Chains A and B, each alone.
Chain A
């Protein structure tokens, strides 16, 4: 059910995106940073689901809140002539890597049940 909804959403989004009007080049930077923020939220959501502490409210507010906040910060940075969006990218991409690491470890543990203890130990060491 969830998977179907995600797939339908993605396909609909792609189709409408192809026919939607283009964003002026000036604003495409804002859209890009919003996409990064949203992707970060998605990976965070997946990691939270795997850890079994997924909360829809936190997920949704994070998804939209992060995107809007990063757009506002980018705008502020442009007004102040400081590349604040770089900071936003560093934070979001850093968190994305963290979440990807959590997801990776989860599946590693799941698919190698024999060496579960070993993997957990090595994960701790790596961390």
Chain B
């Protein structure tokens, strides 16, 4: 009896053990190429993080240097009217280029994907992709805002400058090389009434998006803050023509 019990237990255990070993062998055999691949992936990810940290450090240093430069400039131009005018010109140019944080009355739009699959009237939607915010939606909104006289625009903290591209990268959107995803907060400085009217009027782009079922929130504000462009404007080919 005892011997029988022992042999049955041992049999079950050997069964479990060999089954586990065989499954493991098959798994390892089928994915031998995954091992170096995932290792490479890990090291690449590490490297990306390291570079990102380096970039952030360098960027912080740049910001400090810029501040110091500003101070030095201010100090140097204190008692000189022409220099002061120049200084003001520089500040203004930087503001228009998008290199400084700006504030003013404006219009804020929050667009987010609708995951319910229902339109605003509660009907089931035919094409689910129409309820997702695409990169061309952002392009259209930015275009409409510019058309309505917006003076500074940012999307999720990324300032739209003259070289900004808005591109589609699979399931995310890239602006100024930064990857962003829903919800999208679009801030524009300009006349709140005109900006709002041009987009939310019947047939306006936000009106159409809302009809498609995208979640659209709008907000007119008297003191909106639009972030500065957090990159470096560089050029290689451009020259001024004398």
Return A22 CB to nearest CB of chain B, in Å. 5
Across-interface contacts of A20 in B (CB, < 8 A): 19, 22-23
Return B35 CB to nearest CB of chain A, in Å. 9
Across-interface contacts of B11 in A (CB, < 8 A): 5-6, 8-9
Interface residues of B, dominant DSSP = helix
A25 touches B6 (CB 8 A): no
Number of interface residues of A (CB under 8 A): 31
Across-interface contacts of A4 in B (CB, < 8 A): 7
A121 to B11 alpha-carbon distance, docked (Å): 37
A13 touches B7 (CB 8 A): no
B3 touches A1 (CB 8 A): yes
Interface string of A65-90 (1 = CB under 8 A from B): 00000000000000000000000000
Interface size grouping (class) on chain B: 20 to 34
A73 to B13 alpha-carbon distance, docked (Å): 22
Interface string of A1-30 (1 = CB under 8 A from B): 110111011111110111010110100100
Across-interface contacts of B34 in A (CB, < 8 A): 25
A9 touches B13 (CB 8 A): yes
B27 at interface by CB-CB < 8 Å: yes
B9 touches A18 (CB 8 A): no
**Given A9-B10, A9-B12, 5 new contacts (CB under 8 A):** A4-B7, A13-B15, A17-B18, A31-B24, A35-B21
Which 3 pairs across A and B sit closest by C-beta, in order of nearness?
Answer: A17-B22, A13-B18, A9-B14
